[in-house]
Amino acid sequence: MPGGKELFVLEYNQKDDIMVGRVECVNVDRAEADAIYDQYVGRVKEYPNYRDFILDVQKIESVTDPAIGVLMKGLELMKKGSSYAILLMTEALLQDIMLRHPEMFDFYAVFHTLDDAVAYIHKRRAEGK
DSSP 21-36: EEE--SEE-HHHHHHH
45 by DSSP, 3-state: which? Answer: helix
Task: Spell out the CATH class of 8-126.
Answer: alpha beta
- Cα three-residue angle 93-64-39, rounded to 5 degrees: 95
The pLDDT profile of the chain, 129 residues, written as one tens digit per residue, is 444 468 999 899 999 999 999 999 999 999 999 999 998 888 878 888 888 999 999 999 999 999 999 988 888 888 775 577 899 999 999 999 989 988 877 878 899 999 999 999 999 889 876
Enumerate residues 6+ apart whose C-beta is below 8 A from 76: 85
Model's pTM, two decimal places?
0.86
